[in-house]
Amino acid sequence: KPFSQYIMIGLFGSALSPVVSYITFGMRFPLLVGVLLGNLAGIAIGLLLPPLAAQTLVFHRGFTLYNIGFTSGLIAMAFTAVLRLFSYSIVENTLVSNEYHSPLVWIIFGFFLLTVGFGFYYNSFRLSGIREIFDS
């Protein structure tokens, strides 16, 4: 098959680069062993990603970031399961904050109202274009 069919999968598949980095540097292997195992993991990911992406094509009706991201998530879960099978702990970084929930809700709601207001203004205060948006 031509290279053009694989370039987008390869670019979006870079979402799995932390797997290779973790195996290479985060598992406390000697440098040569880590580089070898990390490269083997990268090659395995590169071989698995295109056929799995083709199989998950029906979920998103096209090769988009969503399709490759979904496939990358499946592969990452499989690698995580294998690493945990061999007793390697994987530290989860949760960057979700509950401290500023109410202010963020009001800020996002304000941006929403601002966007609707600008759209209404630029459409000469008419709602005639809304039907075309929802029909597309």
Condensed to tens digits (0 to 9), the pLDDT of residues 6-38 reads: 888 888 889 999 999 999 999 999 999 999 999
Whether residues 77 and 124 fall in one domain: no
Specify the pLDDT at position 132.
78
Same-domain status, 105 and 77: no
- Give tens-digit pLDDT for 60-78: 666 666 788 888 999 999 9
Q: Quick one: pLDDT at residue 48?
A: 92
Same domain, 56 and 21: yes
Q: How many angstroms separate the CA atoms of 131 and 136, rounded?
A: 9
The reply to whether 40 and 81 lie within a common domain is yes
Instruction: Specify the higher pLDDT residue, 124 or 59.
Output: 124
Q: Which two tokens stand for residue 127?
A: 């709602």
Does the global pTM surpass 0.85?
no
